Structure 1
Amino acid sequence: MEVLEAIKTRRSIRKYQERDVPDELLQRVLEAGMCGPSAVDQRPWHFLVVRDKEMLRKIPKVHPYGAMVKDAPVAIIVCCDTRLERFPGFWVQDCSIASQNILLAAHSLGLGAVWTGVYPLEDRVEGIRKLFGIPDHVIPFSVIPIGYPAEDPGKRDLFDPDRIHHEKW
């Protein structure tokens, strides 16, 4: 899929077919996550891949908007390792780019995914951290369930020329 088409047609997918995501496709999605730019190339991310159905079913208990995760064949938890951070605070942007790359790569490969935010809400951070045994120096940032779409939310045109300013506001 051409990159502009992927950007314009990607939608949040919350319903998935009962079908596994092959390791090869998941590997490509993870590679895309690591291809994003980061502040001074610090690459503070780690990716926790969850396929265990019992663990996927537990995520909605600690994430109030994560109900769809239990039905996905796999989820990626994007995390920041604060020990890798050289410029404090920029990890949020770095992990945002990684999360977006994961969403776009999944879409381009015929998969569906949705970003469910964890950080900065402390109850979600601690819930995910405790559930998966994530060490204190690692901050869970987002949970991205991935699978073959069982829904088609249709296309949207989000372009709004009123939000563009030239030279001055």
Structure 2
Amino acid sequence: MDYYEVIHRRRMVRNFRDESIDDETVERIVSAGLQGPSAGFSQGFTFLALESPEDRERFWATNEHNAQPERIRRAPLVVIPFACKDAYLDRYAEPDKGWTDREESRWPVPYWYIDTGMAALNILHAAVAEELGALFFGIPDEDWPALRDAFDVPEAYDPIGAIVVGHPMDEQVESSADTRQRKNVEELVHGGDWDSPFR
């Protein structure tokens, strides 16, 4: 599938069939996340990939503050992307980066979350390329301790959300994308300066 077609076809899917995904496809989807960029090639993101019904049920049991309906829970793959701030602070204290400390205030924005988000988008795009559907949703920080406890996740790793991947049902649940128009280039892209149109 052409890359631009993947971009245009990507949607958040909210209704899945109870149908498995073959191992090779899962491997390609998860591996796509590893191709995400990272500041200083810190690679401070990691994924928890859950395929077995038992592991997925253990995950869903931790979602007390953002419970998902059964139509979403049917998806056979759950991927939780985690960001590790320490990996970035450590990397930029190395000699080739020129900083001698791990001071977080040097960072204008938390690139550990940004990079993990870009890795997550790779997974969403890979699902489309495999002719599957995917949904990204947030995990409230109130549920982080239960998630960490359930899967022995070290404290240094923050879940930026979760991605479910599976075979979409023909009937989809209405979402904001169905009731709101996507803004166009003229509305969102500025050219030269803020008040100048693009092109």
Paired residue for 1:78?
Answer: 81
Of 94, 99, 102, 2:115 maps to: 94
CA distance in 2, matches of 1:66, 1:52: 18
Paired residue for 1:8?
Answer: 8
Q: Is 2:24 the counterpart of 1:24?
A: yes
How has the CA–CA distance of structure 1 residues 70 and 54 changed in structure 2, closer, same or farther, with 3 Å as cutoff? farther
Q: Give CA deviations for 1:36-70 in whole Å, capped at 9, x if unaligned.
A: 11111111111111112233234444331533552
SS at 2:47 equivalent: strand
Q: Report the count of equivalent residues.
A: 167
Of 120, 123, 130, 1:109 maps to: 130
SS at 1:168 equivalent: coil
Which amino acid is the alignment partner of residue 22 of structure 1?
D
Q: CA RMSD in A?
A: 2.3
CA distance in 2, matches of 1:69, 1:55: 15
Q: Is 2:182 the counterpart of 1:158?
A: yes
Matches within 5 A, 1:100-139: 100-118=121-139, 121-139=140-158
SS at 1:144 equivalent: strand
Paired residue for 2:47?
Answer: 47
Structure 2 residue runs of 5 or longer lacking an equivalent are 93-103, 105-109, 195-199
CA distance in 2, matches of 1:151, 1:164: 34
CA distance in 1, matches of 2:183, 2:75: 30
Paired residue for 1:142?
Answer: 161
CA distance in 2, matches of 1:8, 1:152: 20
Structure 1 residue runs of 5 or longer lacking an equivalent are none
CA distance in 1, matches of 2:162, 2:170: 20
CA contact (8 A) 1:80 1:95 kept: yes
TM-score w.r.t. length of structure 2: 0.74
SS at 1:114 equivalent: strand
CA contact (8 A) 1:21 1:73 kept: yes
Alpha-carbon distance, 1:135 to partner: 1.2
CA distance in 1, matches of 2:8, 2:37: 21
SS at 2:43 equivalent: coil
CA contact (8 A) 1:59 1:69 kept: no
Which amino acid is the alignment partner of residue 128 of structure 1?
L
CA contact (8 A) 1:14 1:114 kept: yes
Structure number with larger C-alpha Rg: 2
How has the CA–CA distance of structure 1 residues 165 and 41 changed in structure 2, closer, same or farther, with 3 Å as cutoff? same
Q: Give CA deviations for 1:66-100 in whole Å, capped at 9, x if unaligned.
A: 33552111111111234422355211011000000
